[in-house]
Amino acid sequence: MSISSQKTLGNSIHCVGIGLHSGAKINMTLRPADPGTGVRFLRTDVPGSDPIPARFDTVSDTTLCTTIGQDGCKVATIEHLMAAFAGCGVDNVLVELDGPEVPVMDGSSAPFVFLIECADLVEQDAAKRWIKVLKPVKVGGTDKSASLVPSEGFSVSFSIDFDNEVVAKQSYFLDMQDGVFKAEVARARTFGFISEVDKLRQLGLARGGSLDNVVIVDNNKILNEDGLRYGNEFVRHKILDSIGDLYLSGAPIIGHFTGERSGHAMNNALLCALFEDETAWCYSEHGPDQFAGEPAMATAATA
């Protein structure tokens, strides 16, 4: 399959799940879309609503998830699905939902990767284009930050530091070559702390959260019976989130992203800063593997 062509799904595919924050039962259908239309979300339960483009400039909220909105219509918790689209190379797709957020499934991107693979990818008669980072862009400070710098491919570095001995300090580097997303981070689940559950639910959040879709940490132990999927699942999930948030650029990025304790808000602020500076980026029809670079690799380091 050519890297230079846009891609969509070969068939529509449907699933049902629970919204992480709303707790609502949600039907979701992924449908093929025309070249150049990008990723769009349509609320079928809102009469007369139009598809919402999944772009950095339609982000309306970043509280514990990424929410996009248009004309009063919103779709929350899109980052895990967006990461799957990015990791699988889906350029154009229409996501239909009969509720306010993307179903959380098991808390990772793996179920969405499975859906995409079942629907199959097909090439379209349209050239793919990338967003090439031309100079460093950074937001945040010394404690928390997010940055993009020029690179010959797309890679991600992330570090976390929690005041908890189970999560603690973790760092991870990922070079996003073919198949790496599925193999290295797709199965990493969202996580939370038992001490914060009551507060979140009072705020109307995490109503659908459970041990089936969240890694729950209670002081120095993990409550999930099967434990972790990776030794450093926490930082891998933060990378998953970042990949999803960065795909709101509207096209794959050629550049290196570094996150230091960053989250959805900072990731979105970084994209805003990138596109505000017309000298910091350009469109390119040359993909990452069309540049001479290092071979694909994924390395991890846990402190």
- State what percent of residues in the chain have pLDDT above 90: 80
Specify the 3-state DSSP secondary structure of 250: coil
What is the DSSP-derived secondary structure letter of residue 295?
P
| Residue 293 scores a pLDDT above 70 | no
Strand pairing report for 67-70 and 59-61? antiparallel
To which residue do tokens 């990922």 refer? Answer: 174
Closest CA to 188 of 251, 292, 106: 106
| Strands 130-133 and 253-260, sheet pairing | parallel
Confidence at 289, pLDDT banded by 50, 70, 90: low
Alpha helices, H only, 130-277: 180-184, 197-202, 233-246, 264-276
Q: CA 173, CA 9: separation in Å to the nearest integer?
A: 29
Taking residues 178-193, report their average pLDDT.
Answer: 94
For the segment 9-25, what is each residue's pLDDT rounded down to a tens digit? 999 999 999 999 889 99
Structural contact between residues 59 and 67, judged by C-beta atoms closer than 8 angstroms: yes
Dihedral sign for Cα atoms in the order 277, 279, 281, 284: positive
Binning the chain into helix, strand and coil, the percentages to the nearest 5 are 25, 35, 40
Task: Please report the pLDDT score of residue 201 as a whole number.
Answer: 74
Amino acid found at 110: A
Give me the pLDDT at residue 219, please. 85
Q: What is the pLDDT of residues 125-183, one digit of tens each?
A: 999 999 999 999 999 988 899 999 999 999 999 999 998 889 989 999 999 988 899 99
DSSP for residue 270: H
Give percent of the chain with pLDDT exceeding 70. 95
How do residues 224-253 score in pLDDT, each as one tens digit?
999 999 999 999 999 999 999 999 999 999
- DSSP letter at 213? T
Give dist(CA 33, CA 238) in Å, integer: 29
Is residue 295 predicted with pLDDT exceeding 60? no
Report which of 22, 78, 66 is spatially closest to residue 200, judged by C-alpha positions: 22
Residue type, 139: V
State the burial class of residue 146 (Cβ atoms within 10 Å of its Cβ: 0-12, 13-18, 19+).
buried
The average pLDDT across 52-71 equals 96
Q: What digits encode the pLDDT tens for the residues 115-127?
A: 999 999 999 999 9
Domains of the chain and CATH, by start: 5-127 (3.30.230.20), 130-302 (3.30.1700.10)
Q: What is the mean pLDDT of the chain?
A: 92
Catalytic residues: 264
When comparing pLDDT for 201 and 162, which is higher?
Answer: 162
